[in-house]
Amino acid sequence: MLNLVIFYPLIFKYGQGGLSSNFLTGKGVFSTVPYRNSELGTRNLELRTQNSELRTRNYLITKHESQHCMKLNLKNPLAFFDLEATGTNVIHDRIVEVAIVQLMPNGERTTFTKKVNPTIPIPPESSLLHGIYDEDVKDAPTFKMIAKSLAKFLEGCDLAGFNILRFDIPMLVEEFLRAKVDFKTAHRKLIDTQKIFHLMEKRNLSSAYQFYCNKTLAGAHSAMVDTLATVEILEAQVARYEGATVTDISGNKVGTIKNDMKKLHELTTSTMIDFAGRMTYNEEGREVFNFGKHKNKLVSQVLKDEPTYYDWMMQSDFPLDTKRKLTQIKLKYR
């Protein structure tokens, strides 16, 4: 994002004893000490130069804003929305907060926000992410109580948001169905800004090479070309980020970028157990399952409570590496 310093214009006027200047700021107008009449000639020349510079700066700022704040061309109202929930499972989890910004074709904007009682406990890991705890929603209405008014508010609106196709819309539709409120999406336009982001800002080797090395990758998907490009990318990444703090999605520090392969290994594989990602380490460093009905449960506890689960995994179509790591964990806690 481009950081801009806003320059406010200087307004000069004649006052008692000569010329005084008023400096416009975001908080008001502040006067400076008056200038003597003998200084007017030199000062006026300086002012003309400053005003010229200010006009140029203001033009650049206006141009920047116009490029990045384009008015959306709307034929229908467009409702941007975001949900916070007890988790990401649309079947078992429930909404705890709804926020909507409704843009109208005429430029009017209406906002709506409401906390929701999910009727089930909010897991601590979810509360740490969105900051909403059971105590915050114990007196809030349930989704069923607000479903009809919410559907009315969204009536005739197209929908927009970040990652709404994979999470927010499925979660919202599921809640409406449970509340037995008719909420159709078939005739609405759905705009997912994450999808546009991923379409336009690629996350492949060629894009990384362009971003870090400012070069076009000729002959991509040739094994040696890709390998040589990766060497340059890592060198450029270390040069760019060395000393920078790395944080997780919640803002917690997870490490620092250093020109040290052990540190880089720890950053890039910190939660990985098996290469397929079927098991990971949780925040306490314990092995947990990362899929299915036992997702986020301790592997050791599942194998203790349900010994046949180990047999099922060993006989199912899982990678040999996953089966080997599962066996190692089983033996570790035997």
Spatial separation of the C-alpha atoms in residues 178 and 15, rounded to whole Å = 72
Tokens of 202: 């690629």
What are the pLDDT digits (tens) for 277-314? 999 999 889 999 999 999 999 999 999 999 999 999 99
CA 295 distance to own-chain centroid = 24
| pLDDT greater at residue 334 or residue 178 | 178
Name the pTM for this structure. Answer: 0.62
Domains of the chain, residue spans: 10-68, 78-195, 205-268, 279-332
Q: Does domain 78-195 have CATH number 3.30.2350.10?
A: no
What are the pLDDT digits (tens) for 169-191? 999 999 999 999 999 998 999 99
Query: Which residues lie closer than 8 Å to 109 by C-beta, 6 or more apart?
Result: 101, 102, 103
